[in-house]
Amino acid sequence: MNKKIRVSTILKRKSEGVKITALTAYDYTFGYLLDEAGVDLILVGDSCGNVCAGYETTLPVTVDEVVYHTRSVRQGVKHALLVADMPFMSYQETPELALHNAGRFMKEGGAEAVKVEGGEHICETVRRMVEIGIPVMGHLGFTPQSVHEFGGYKVRGQDSKEAEKMKADALALQDAGMFAVVLEKVPAQLAKEISEMLTIPTIGIGAGPHCDGQILVSYDMLGLFDKVQFKFARRYASLADDIRNAVNGYCDDVKSSNFPSQDESY
Ligand code: KIV
């Protein structure tokens, strides 16, 4: 039987050298399926803006939307650590606003931790959240909420200046009390160095094999959102094709009066 995963379990995974498994979910059905399968950490990502709402970027996602998705996933999750992603401008303005919104994800959504993007500049906010008992996960490298500043979906930390800054940010986030850091689209060697430098776990997405764990957007790894194929997002299923085939079969059966049968009727 799967045991309840807590922040302490995630930290222990690193000290024991056991890789952390993490995926995103946005609703009850995915919540219980991923949880039953034994995933350690489920993130209600602001990627809901891309895969559920069809937005081009994650920027339009609101606090109310993430609260709704978190509450839905919460109903299905018994074992995994449930983390809510704080959307753009829900934590950047002031620590007070960040505390207020993080509180909503926990009280109304049932999250056990929150995730924020950024480095040294958000450390005061992180400290304030950790002080009052809100576990916080970080996100460095390609941080989607800064897509316009970056000028596209590029790998980060490729030159030495940016690599050094990322290392300093990672240490600052650890000092501020974070329990884990996501590294997105970072060269594998840099992710290795950051993972070795930190005592808290790194969770990679497009950051090579040396991170302490891996996370993917569930819709990408299941082949459900198949409009784009990211180099780092290995596909373990082709659900979009399965759905297309199933819907075609249903429409054919309805049109040819092959559905419903006697057995499917009262
Ligand atoms: O929003 C999200 O899904 C994320 C993961 C890609 C880490 O931040």
Per-residue pLDDT tens digits for 78-131: 999 999 999 999 999 999 999 999 999 999 999 999 999 999 999 999 999 999
Which of 16, 117, 184, 196 is labelled catalytic? 184
CB 57 within 8 A of CB 37: no
Per-residue pLDDT tens digits for 154-178: 999 999 999 999 999 999 999 999 9
Mutate to test the pocket of ligand 1, among 46, 114, 140 (most ligand atoms within 8 A of CB): 46
What's the pLDDT score for residue 22?
Answer: 99
Mutate to test the pocket of ligand 1, among 205, 214, 225, 232 (most ligand atoms within 8 A of CB): 205
- Please write down the HEC assignment for all residues of 90-113: CCCCCHHHHHHHHHHHHHCCCCCE
Token match 């304030």: residue? 128
For residue 261, what is the DSSP state? -
Which regions in the chain score pLDDT beneath 70?
A: 1
CA of 182, closest atom in ligand 1:
7
Return the H-helix or E-strand segment holding 74. helix 63-74
